[in-house]
DNA sequence: AGCATTTTTGCATTCGAATGCAAATATCAA
DNA sequence: TTGATATTTGCATTCGAATGCAAAAATGCT
């Protein structure tokens, strides 16, 4: 019986006898054996705040170093139910806003000891499978700067995975958000344009289903109305440079009245628009046409563009997003938070007095 | 005795009695219980190519769907010794080449069923800790488009983690690489410049320790020599737009002879250089000064720049990199592969006949 | 020193899926 | 129908670290 028991339940400590074959990765058992202590001791040495005596720690660390031991984050994740992975959802490569956000967020996550699992999402169909992938990988949380339907969000909610939306949110469903509200700045810019004698504006917006686009367009329309502007034309783009170029063509072709200012809902389209104006239509910017936009991405301030744009404080927003993530992971509850940041007008060189 | 044994070794199947508490994630045991089968059966249903009968699969899948079960990739990784995670190392946010590479690689990894664990690396010190992080996360492989010293590489090699270098390599140590060799194109472009009457060139290179910079500079110098150019000045930048602007200032200030062409080792610096020439120095590009560069990133073809540049086929390179990764993960051996791609000249509008 | 208290250590178990092996079942041939 | 073979299924174990609990060791106090 003793025999059968020994056979049936080989204690974990028996594994000590498994030799560390060349090439096999050292485990906590290998370290324990070399240091002549128990596996638990090794584990505790690598967990800050555990009760461990000085000399024990020393012995273990020496052995660990010798074997190049590092705790296995996968195994740790299994037992602790924490992967320390955060899914970051950004949209593809067409809008240089996303890489900026992505890198900032990654940096902040790293500071918090978290890893970014990167997913690019181009549509809600993509989001569907991305959510399943993230779920399989036991991500502790999701930061979404990209497409996600309410239904998809609800799936994550039901699965109790904290989600932080980056500059987007659902107005009709509680959620956790970092958001940049540019309404003040929109007002300010439109007022400034009025002062500069502008009167006729064209709008380049994004897809109808895009919340950021809708919001920015709404703010623009409202302020333009308030200051008595004519909105001579409104075109939808898709946030890319190319769509900015074709949008301006559209405006030129289909408007009987030529606008003196084009308001683009993001920098990429504004750059396309500006290039098209200058290189193809032969309009000078800002002399013949003023351009304003949103985001304030790095390249919008390159000397060729120097856009007057409403900047998002991406750095602070990323910081906040990660803080919210960690809070929600520490103590999961139902509470939601909406952290709103002000925009900031970058006075570039893309606006001027309206041509007469 | 039977009692003590039961207590000491509770069979895993006993866990069936643990109820699926609201909020707890369904495991294969929950599915097994609901479907009235064993856990192994559930596991096999989710592993393609396992021997499972049709009706079994059906029953299990029905239960799985009901419980929203998805296999736990962390637990799977622990037992299979495969995390399906690939560390992607790119350099920070200053050079828009990296986001392009990153997104392409991520896309290709996704196609191969792998996840990108993103690390930004700004220096070799960063690389040090990134490598440890990646090791902890049991990444199956590393794709490095960023800093990594030979010593650091050797650590990964010893740990038997496949590494693929993206457009960089160690010439004195065997390694696996996708690389773009632009030497043909350099020759072609320099020849073209000669034909256009150019004679005096300036170089804007990168940090001395950077292999890509060194190689490109070497090729340029060689071709320029061959065609009898004078290299009137050579400045080091750091691949960023800003360093391109100041490099041109440098060139202007310190050269007694003004170059008719500036050759930049990447697009970002070329754009800075071009903007500085046009906006600050008042030199027309390409009339007063021709500019050529490397990479062919998306924005280098925006109408404001339209650089004549030597493009890397990033798409095909990423594809190759991921294929090499999967091959090396499937059957780990010592063999190395170097896959070299040709560059391609993008005939932009940044070069013209030399001013007289 | 003797006892109480605190700290340190080890044992045994757990997380969730995969898998070698043996048992059970299905399929086929004669 | 019987036996032989092929297929399917389940049992028990494994991966590597964390942790509750109890035993052991160290510390403090009188």
pLDDT tens-digit map of B38-47:
999 999 999 8
Helix (H, G, I), strand (E, B) or coil at B51: coil
Q: Which CATH class is domain B83-180+314-342?
A: alpha beta
- pLDDT score for A18: 52
Q: What confidence tier does A1 reach under pLDDT thresholds 50, 70, 90?
A: very low
Angle between the B54-66 and B28-35 helix axes, to the nearest 10 degrees?
120
Verify if strand C has an atom below 7 Å from the CB of B82. no
Q: In what order do the strands lie in the sheet with B141-144?
A: A338-342, A176-181, A163-166, A141-144, A85-90, A115-120, B115-120, B85-90, B141-144, B163-166, B176-181, B338-342
Low-confidence winner among A21-35, A255-269, B31-45 (lowest mean pLDDT): A21-35
Quickly count helices (H) and strands (E) in chain A: 13, 12
DSSP-derived letter for residue B25 is P
- Distance (Å) from the alpha carbon of B177 to chain A's nearest alpha carbon: 23
Low-confidence winner among A97-101, A250-254, A311-315 (lowest mean pLDDT): A250-254
Verify if strand D has an atom below 7 Å from the CB of A76. yes
Task: Report yes or no: B260 and B229 within 8 Å, Cβ to Cβ.
Answer: no
- Distance (Å) from the alpha carbon of B305 to chain A's nearest alpha carbon: 8
Residue bearing the bigger pLDDT, A346 or B16: A346
* Residue B163 host element (H or E): strand B163-166
Verify if strand C has an atom below 7 Å from the CB of B17. no
Determine the Cα–Cα distance for residues B190 and B175; give it in Å rounded to an integer: 31
CATH 1.10.260.40 placement within chain A: 2-71
- Distance (Å) from the alpha carbon of A136 to chain B's nearest alpha carbon: 5
CATH 3.40.50.2300 placement within chain B: 83-180+314-342, 182-312
Which CATH number is A182-312 given?
Answer: 3.40.50.2300
Q: Is the pLDDT of residue A204 over 50?
A: yes
> Rounded mean pLDDT of A140-162?
93
B71: nearest CA in chain A? A136
A108: nearest CA in chain B? B120
Verify if strand D has an atom below 7 Å from the CB of B39. yes
Low-confidence winner among B54-58, B60-64, B260-264 (lowest mean pLDDT): B54-58
Low-confidence winner among A48-62, A108-122, A289-303 (lowest mean pLDDT): A48-62
Residues of B in contact with A72 (CB under 8 A): 78, 136, 138
CB spacing of B132 vs A70 below 8 angstroms:
yes
Determine the Cα–Cα distance for residues B298 and B302; give it in Å rounded to an integer: 8
Pick out the nucleotide with least CA–C1' distance to A52: C8
> Rounded mean pLDDT of A278-298?
95
CB spacing of A25 vs B92 below 8 angstroms:
no
Q: What is the pLDDT of residues B26-36, one digit of tens each?
A: 999 999 999 99
Q: What is the pLDDT of residues B156-180, one digit of tens each?
A: 998 999 999 999 988 888 899 999 9
Verify if strand C has an atom below 7 Å from the CB of B7. yes
pTM of the model: 0.92
Q: Is the pLDDT of residue B240 over 50?
A: yes
Chain D nucleotides near the protein (CB, 7 A): 7-20
Q: Which CATH class is domain B2-71?
A: mainly alpha
């Amino acid at each position: 019986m003793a025999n059968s028991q020994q056979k049936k339940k080989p204690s974990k400590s028996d594994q000590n006898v498994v030799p560390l074959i060349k090439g096999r990765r050292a485990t906590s058992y290998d370290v324990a054996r070399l240091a002549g202590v128990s596996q638990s001791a090794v584990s505790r040495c690598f967990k800050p705040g555990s009760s461990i005596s000085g000399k024990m720690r020393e012995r273990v660390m020496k052995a660990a170093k010798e074997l190049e031991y590092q705790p296995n984050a996968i195994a740790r994740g299994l037992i602790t139910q924490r992967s320390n992975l955060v899914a970051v959802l950004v949209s593809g490569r067409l809008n240089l806003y996303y890489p900026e956000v992505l890198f900032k967020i990654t940096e902040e996550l790293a500071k918090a000891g978290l890893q970014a699992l990167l997913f690019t999402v181009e549509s809600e169909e993509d989001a569907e499978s991305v959510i399943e992938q993230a779920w399989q990988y036991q991500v502790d949380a999701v930061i979404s700067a990209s497409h996600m339907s309410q239904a998809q969000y609800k799936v994550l909610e039901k699965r109790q995975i904290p989600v932080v939306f980056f500059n987007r949110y659902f107005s009709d469903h509680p959620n956790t958000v970092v958001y940049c509200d540019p309404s003040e700045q929109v007002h300010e810019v439109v007022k400034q344009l009025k002062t500069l004698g502008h009167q006729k504006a064209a709008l380049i917006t994004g897809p109808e289903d895009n919340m950021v686009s809708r919001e920015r367009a709404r703010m623009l329309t409202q302020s333009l109305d308030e200051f008595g502007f004519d909105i001579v034309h409104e075109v939808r783009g898709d946030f890319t440079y190319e769509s900015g170029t074709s949008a301006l063509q559209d405006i030129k072709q289909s408007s009987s009245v030529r606008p003196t200012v084009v308001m683009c809902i993001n920098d990429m389209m504004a750059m396309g628009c500006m290039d098209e104006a200058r290189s193809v239509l032969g309009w000078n910017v800002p002399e013949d046409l003023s351009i304003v936009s949103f985001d304030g991405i790095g390249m919008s301030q390159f000397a060729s563009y120097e856009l007057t744009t409403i900047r998002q404080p991406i750095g602070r927003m990323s910081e906040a997003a990660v803080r919210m993530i960690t809070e929600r992971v520490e103590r999961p509850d139902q509470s939601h938070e909406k952290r709103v940041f002000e925009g900031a007008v970058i006075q570039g060189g893309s606006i001027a007095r309206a041509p007469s």
